[in-house]
Amino acid sequence: MQHAYTGWEVFSLSSDDARELYTLRSCLEGLAARLAAENIDSDGKKALSAALKTLKLATQRNDWRAIAEADLAVHKTIVSIANHRRLLQQYALIIDTVLLYILSTNRMVGSAASIYPEHKALVDAIISGDVALAEQLASEHVTVHGQRLTESLRNSGH
């Protein structure tokens, strides 16, 4: 993992790290999706659609690093569209670990093609302004994959 303006640091997730991260992300990203659906404008729709298109292209290339970066870009775009400065600041505190988390959870899905539809449903809910559905999908998306990762790490002794 590389931190901005620093060198490389070796880091791996434990089951406790994964549990803490997915429970925190579930709350932050659920809130972000709800606020994004409330606040989205034409520029936000364009940015979110572009991020989703990049994710789709990455999944078609089956490039796991590019998929993780594009996946994270979708989530960062949602947080940005939420138009909530403090939420953005809190999300920035976990962003490096979130990339590692996404790399780990995406590889567990088995098929890169299955990653895009979940994100498309979330983006569609936000773009259509469906506040409740956007919040639910964001929270469930993070929770389901987080629970799976936590269990896998626990079973492997991490």
**Out of 2-6, 43-47, 77-81, 120-124, which region has the weakest mean confidence (pLDDT)?**
2-6
Task: Report how far residue 120's alpha carbon sits from residue 124's, in angstroms, rounded to the nearest whole number.
Answer: 6
- Asked, for residue 6, whether it belongs to a domain, the answer is no
**In this structure, is residue 154 part of a structural domain?**
no
Q: Does the residue 4 lie in any domain? A: no
Average pLDDT over residues 27-48: 98
Residue 7 lies inside a defined structural domain of this protein: no
Please report, for the domain that includes residue 33, its CATH number: 1.20.120.530
Per-residue confidence (pLDDT) for residue 106, from 0 to 100:
87
Q: Is residue 5 part of a domain?
A: no
Q: Assess contact for 15 and 131: CB atoms under 8 A.
A: no
DSSP 42-79: HHHHHHHHHHHHHHHHHHHHT-HHHHHHHHHHHHHHHH
Q: pTM of the predicted model, to two decimals?
A: 0.89
Residue 158 lies in a domain: no
Report the distance separating Cα 44 and Cα 155, nearest Å: 41
- Residue 8 per-residue DSSP state: B
What range does the domain containing 96 cover? 15-149
Overall number of domains in the chain: 1
